[in-house]
Amino acid sequence: MKETRYIGKPARRVDGRAKVTGQAKFSDDVILPRTRYAKVLHSRYAHAKITKLDVSKAKELPGVAAVFTAKDIPNNDKYFRKGTMGDTWVLAEEYVRYIGDAVAFVVADDEETAEKALSLIEAEYEPLPPVVNLREAKKAELLARADREGNVSMPLEVSRGDVEADFAKADVILSDRYVFPSLSQLHLEPNSVTAVYEGGKLTVYCASQVWFHTREDIAAVVGLPEKDIILRPMTIGGAFGARNDQPLPIIASLLAVLTKSTVKMTNTRLEEFVAARPSLQMDIDITVAADKEGHLLSKKTWLLSSHGIHASDNDAVTAIACLRLDNNYKFNSVYVDGTGLYLNHTPTAAYRGFGNPQMHWAFESMLDELAEKLGMDPTEIRMLNYHEGGEVGIHGFIYNNCGIKECMRRAKEIVNWDEKKKHKVPGKGIGCASLIHCSGSRAGKPEFSGTSAWARLESSGAVTILAGECEMGQGIVNVCALIAGEELGVDPLSVKVIMGDTEMCPFSTGTNGSKLTSNLGNAVLFACRDLKKQLCDALREQCGYGPVEMRDGGIYYENNGEFVMSLEQAAYEACCKFSGRPFMGLGRFNPPSELGDRTGYGNLAPSYVFGVQMAEVTVHEDGSFTVDRMVSVHDIGRVIDIRNATGQVYGGVMQAFGAATTESLDLNKEGVYQANTILEYKAPTLLDMPHIDVGFVETHDQYGPYGAKAIAEPPIIAMAPAIGNAIYDAVGVRVHEAPITPQRLREAILEKKKRAAAGEEA
């Protein structure tokens, strides 16, 4: 590996100081003059006919600027993503279809008046039976939406190879069912938006992961051309996929335009639960076929996926759940039948891992079942079936490198796997699971799927990186600053990174799919190289200094290495030679990837990341258990920012731990979420966290900057099945539906005992 000054070294975060001192401005910190406040009247029924909706008293309240119901909204039924979605509404008209469905908007001079006006709206409903269960939705005896026959939002059926032939020649066939819950992404910052409509132009201060998509969505609903809309990114308090498709920026923008004013809206925590975009619950049946040596031959999967009341990016999540994991093992053939279903709850959407955690929960658990049946060690069956660099996954992934076997070896070392397996301690268990994900994953655009960046040097010597992507807390600003610092020879902390401002920054397809380190990292790298070349050329030619190079924050003669001048001085002289214009290095990266075909076949990303996760547990007779240690080892190519990468692993593992043990958004029969507060939702806190060991296997990726690959999503993907497998290892019992609560585990232990007793009796 090339010697580096900043890359891979422990670095301070360029946005760290502002965040820890409270100076960072989040969306709710936006305070503008003459702001009006808007509130939403949400449905309290999961499915009902609206029998009365009288807003006259609310309208008469002093301080109320406007009250809107469905009939007041132009294009009420043309909501969201122009041309791709559009199967929903701004305000419910005849029916409400989920708890949280918007029935009316109030715009008032202050929040208190808006709240009061909400209470003055007279709404009456005739309840209808809601569809809240995947298996029932599939039966389609009741419809979640009268306009959607069969409740099917997205069907996907894919077959590769000769599945029946492979099953026919299998030595072992195993079937099981796994359920993974819907989860809240639980970004701690609730959504807040301030939309300013003045002189025919709209400026929106908000959070988003997909600035230019959000602009497109707003344009479609408010009826302005995109060029008259500016999004000004605020500091974002987490996103995790939830901010791919948030309604609030669109609603606030619409109300600003309709009332020709500045409108601010901030979600309550309750709204963040009921009117949010949580992850997809999946109910998965798998039958797997292997030969007696443990080679995976084939697999059949039937997957039901909760899309909630309308399409979002839940289609893509379901598709990835159906296909991605298969690429991690050398199957001969696979078959999958996936169905995204409409249900009477809030629409679901992306969550870190994008469908991958759900399928990994199912299949990585089953792999342990299979290993047991074959008398193999769980690590052994995986090592046997992993791909190597240079191979191609069954759905078309091309691996230019693959460090998964090394990840497994490293993880085993860390937990001392073989020793522990040899010397079993009652009630103690270890489990493993492995994972695959994309690095630089392809956006669903045929036009392009890369990104671009500018590195700007202005006359003062200030270096700025401009990109249309999103810093949502994941630390991409640091990656950009480190790359710029490395290439330009300046302190990364002095580099300003401006991201996502739709007026200042390049267009981007948005920040998801673990694609920034690879795609944006390259764009920044190329931009800095271009900038350096431009500046040195100008100094040599226009300014007459002869051959010079830029390093260590200064300019040096190429021939004798002598110092010529500071970067500030060089910037001033060179800018003046070009009549004041800053130097703008341009970098762009369009990764070698392709859109999948209609069956999802294709090399969706330039590179892929791999990892192995392990857990050690202690399980008690009553079903209570502790996770004693978690180990997460990842092949992410070259590590750019070691602290940040490690932080990403901690965060992802913590979220996976929550999903495995405590978190879920369960609905009751009436379609009511059983957890509507953080307290009830029971996400783990730092105090609940077991020890985590993080390991990185540094491969060199031929497409990544400095050989780097992604780390954003992987740590969340396979820890839940690793914990499940460890519990099985401890007590020989498996809970098929996450989270593995003590109740569920206790029931399974009792059930096992009952079956054992029955067996003894038999």
Closest listed residue to residue 211, CA positions, set 475, 439, 498? 498
Of residues 588 and 682, the one with the C-beta less far from a copy of itself: 588
Sheet with 262-266: strands ordered across: 64-68, 102-108, 35-42, 262-266, 192-198, 201-206, 229-233
Whole-number minimum distance, CB 227 to a copy of itself, in Å?
A: 3
Tell me which of 109, 111, 171, 226 binds a copy of itself, using CB under 8 A.
226
**Candidate ranges 219-227, 249-257, 307-315, 656-664; the one touching a copy of itself (CB under 8 A):** 219-227
The span of 107-115, 457-465, 472-480, 739-747 binding a copy of itself (CB under 8 A) equals: 457-465
> If binding is defined by CB under 8 A, does position 452 make contact with a copy of itself?
yes
Transcribe 74-139 into DSSP letters. Answer: TTTT--SSTTT-----SS--SEE-STT-EEEEEEESSHHHHHHHHHH-EEEEEE------HHHHHH
Token pair for 703: 């497409």
Quick check: 563 binds a copy of itself (CB under 8 A)? no
Q: How far is the CB of 301 from a copy of itself (least distance, A)?
A: 35
* Least spacing, CB of residue 13 vs a copy of itself, in Å: 12
Which of these segments, 115-123, 298-306, 454-462, 553-561, binds a copy of itself (CB under 8 A)? 454-462
> Minimum distance from CB of 216 to a copy of itself (Å)?
9
Q: Which of residues 13-52 bind a copy of itself (CB under 8 A)?
A: 17-18, 21, 23, 29, 31-33
Interface with a copy of itself: number of residues (CB under 8 A): 56
Least separation in angstroms between residue 583's CB and a copy of itself is 11
Q: Which one, 570 or 617, has the nearer CB to a copy of itself?
A: 570
Compute and round to an integer the Cα radius of gyration of the chain: 27
452 within 8 A of 523, measured Cβ to Cβ: yes
Number of helical H runs and strand E runs in the chain? 20, 26
**What is the distance, to the nearest Å, from the Cα of residue 574 to the centroid of all Cα atoms in its chain?**
43
Stretch in the footprint of a copy of itself (CB under 8 A) among 169-177, 448-456, 608-616, 632-640:
448-456
Q: How far is the CB of 745 from a copy of itself (least distance, A)?
A: 48
Q: For residues 1 and 18, which CB has a smaller minimum distance to a copy of itself in the complex? A: 18
SS3 6: coil
Site string for a copy of itself, 506-535 (x = CB under 8 A): xxxx-------------x------------
Q: Which stretch binds a copy of itself (CB under 8 A): 221-229, 383-391, 700-708, 721-729?
A: 221-229
215 forms part of the interface with a copy of itself (CB under 8 A): yes
Which segment (168-176, 225-233, 431-439, 727-735) binds a copy of itself by CB under 8 A?
225-233
Cβ atoms of residues 128 and 51 within 8 Å: no
Sign of CA pseudo-dihedral 513, 514, 518, 524: positive
3-state secondary structure of 575: helix
- Interacting residues of 568 by C-beta distance below 8 A, sequence separation 6+: 460, 461
Report which of 274, 333, 407 is spatially closest to residue 694, judged by C-alpha positions.
407
- Confirm if 638 and 614 have CB atoms less than 8 A apart: no
Q: How many CB atoms lie within 10 A of CB 702?
A: 12
CA distance 79 to 460: 46
Interface with a copy of itself, residue 450, by CB under 8 A: yes
Residue 586 exposure: Cα atoms within 13 Å on the Cβ side: 2
Of residues 563 and 578, the one with the C-beta less far from a copy of itself: 578
CB 523 within 8 A of CB 470: no
Q: Single out the segment in contact with a copy of itself by CB under 8 A; choices: 223-231, 346-354, 359-367, 596-604.
A: 223-231
**Residue 69 or 451 with smaller CB distance to a copy of itself:** 451
Nearer to a copy of itself, 577 or 736 (CB): 577
Q: How many residues would you count in the chain?
A: 762
- Candidates 224-232, 263-271, 389-397, 688-696: pick the segment binding a copy of itself (CB under 8 A): 224-232
Using CA atoms, how far residue 395 sits from 34, 237, 392, in Å, is 55, 35, 8
Q: Is 468 in the site for a copy of itself (CB under 8 A)?
A: yes
CB of 33 to a copy of itself, least distance (A): 5
Q: What span, in angstroms and rounded, lies between the C-alpha atoms of 614 and 626? A: 14
What residues pair up with 287 in beta bridges, in sequence order? 175, 300
Q: Which residue among 577, 629, 700, 744 contacts a copy of itself (CB under 8 A)?
A: 577
- Residue 420 CB, nearest distance to a copy of itself (Å)? 48
The pair of structure tokens assigned to 603 is 């090399």
**Contact map string, positions 481 to 500, toward a copy of itself, x by CB under 8 A:** -------------x------
How would you write 500-569 as a 3-class SS string? CCCCCCCCCCCCCCCCHHHHHHHHHHHHHHHHHHHHHHHHHCCCCCCCEEEECCEEEECCCCCEEEEHHH
CA distances from 167 to 163, 384, 392, 508, 660 (A): 6, 19, 22, 45, 31
Can residue 578 be called a binding residue for a copy of itself (CB under 8 A)? yes
Decide if residue 69 touches a copy of itself (CB under 8 A): no
Report the residue from 86, 150, 444, 461 that binds a copy of itself according to the rule CB under 8 A. 461
Establish if 451 lies at the interface with a copy of itself (CB under 8 A). yes
Neighbouring-strand partners of residue 35: 262
Instruction: Please report whether residue 419 would count as binding a copy of itself according to CB under 8 A.
Output: no
Please, what is the end-to-end C-alpha distance for the chain in angstroms?
A: 64
The enclosing H or E element of 583 equals: strand 583-589
Find the shortest distance in angstroms from Cβ 452 to a copy of itself: 4
Nearest to 455 by CA among 372, 386, 534: 534
Cα–Cα distance, 542 to 624 (Å, whole number): 74
Sequence-separated (6 or more) residues with CB below 8 Å from residue 665: 181, 182, 183, 184, 273, 278, 281, 673, 674, 675, 681
Looking at residues 175 to 204 of the shown chain, list those that interact with a copy of itself (rule: CB under 8 A).
Answer: 198-199
Q: Where does this chain touch a copy of itself (CB under 8 A) — which range of 37-45, 143-151, 157-165, 572-580? A: 572-580
Nearer to a copy of itself, 464 or 662 (CB): 464
Using CB under 8 A as the binding rule, whether residue 537 contacts a copy of itself is answered as no
Contact set for a copy of itself, span 589-628 (CB under 8 A): 589-590
With binding defined as CB under 8 A, does residue 560 bind a copy of itself? no
Minimum gap (Å) between residue 506 Cβ and a copy of itself: 4
Question: For residues 648 and 710, is the Cβ–Cβ distance under 8 A?
Answer: no
Min dist. Cβ of residue 315 to a copy of itself (A) = 22
Stretch that binds a copy of itself, among 2-10, 142-150, 580-588, 627-635 (CB under 8 A): 580-588
Q: Which residues bind a copy of itself (CB under 8 A)?
A: 17-18, 21, 23, 29, 31-33, 198-199, 212, 215, 225-229, 445, 447-448, 450-452, 454, 458-462, 464, 468, 494, 502-504, 506-509, 523, 568, 572-573, 575-582, 584, 586, 588-590
